[in-house]
Chain A
């Protein structure tokens, strides 16, 4: 099974900050990597698919990059509505797996 490790596990930042979250796979997964945002009590929402493609309707301040084993999610200028937990997910092989999450909190 492929293990996904995110860092950091939590992050404090201010509105307007540039934030980067990292996801590392235990083996190469090409670009079969997707990012989700989850707010308390809500289902996850897809932000980025295939490592760098922005889902329709998602703000352009979100971007993704990477391939192989190392990936990043960047928020260029944090907005109040961005404070949430972010998960990466690999779909290179089943069982599909998620990272443990990065909780983004207001500083």
Chain B
């Protein structure tokens, strides 16, 4: 059974960098697309981007200038970095598996981690 778990600081100061890691168990991170999605409190879901083929990436244009997704295949983990954060980046951040190809839906998801941007 594939499981994903997010980890990282729950509080980040404005203008600093948000860094999260997703640990994957039960599947090899060398396959599929590995995705970050976020959900501001009380709002809808927002796709951030994905990494696949152990290094190729694709980001949402609205975040592209500030986002980096990377992978550590030796640890079966992938990571998110979001620079120059503001209060608008406060959200629950989810990692998820995207089967890729023409099957770009998300399953399973991690449990999510709340990141608050505040001084």
Bound together, the chains give a CA A43 to CA B96 distance in angstroms of 10
Interface residue? A34 (CB, 8 A): yes
The DSSP consensus for interface residues of chain A is loop
Q: Does the CB pair B94–A98 fall under 8 Å?
A: no
Interface residue? B46 (CB, 8 A): yes
Bound together, the chains give a CA A43 to CA B45 distance in angstroms of 11
Bound together, the chains give a CA A45 to CA B94 distance in angstroms of 12
Contact A55 B107, CB 8 Å, known A87-B45, A97-B47: yes
Bound together, the chains give a CA A71 to CA B96 distance in angstroms of 24
Please tell me which one of the listed residues B61, B96, B108, B109 contacts residue A95 in the complex, with CB atoms under 8 A apart.
Answer: B61
Q: Does the CB pair A43–B60 fall under 8 Å?
A: no
Bound together, the chains give a CA A45 to CA B106 distance in angstroms of 8
Bound together, the chains give a CA A52 to CA B108 distance in angstroms of 19
Q: Does the CB pair A96–B104 fall under 8 Å?
A: yes
The DSSP consensus for interface residues of chain B is loop
Number of interface residues of B (CB under 8 A): 21
Q: Does the CB pair A98–B45 fall under 8 Å?
A: yes
B-binding residues in A (CB < 8 A) = 1, 32, 34, 36, 42-46, 49-50, 55, 87, 89, 91, 94-101
Q: Does the CB pair A99–B106 fall under 8 Å?
A: no
B62, B103, B104, B105: residue with the most chain A Cβ atoms closer than 10 Å = B105
Complex contacts, B111 vs chain A, CB 8 Å: 42-43
Contact A101 B44, CB 8 Å, known A43-B94, A43-B112: yes
Q: Does the CB pair B104–A32 fall under 8 Å?
A: yes
Q: Does the CB pair A34–B110 fall under 8 Å?
A: no
Identity of the chain A residue whose Cβ is nearest the Cβ of B112 in the assembled complex: A43
Bound together, the chains give a CA A45 to CA B111 distance in angstroms of 11
Bound together, the chains give a CA A46 to CA B94 distance in angstroms of 14
Closest CB pairs A-B (n = 6) = A91-B104, A43-B109, A34-B105, A95-B60, A98-B45, A96-B47
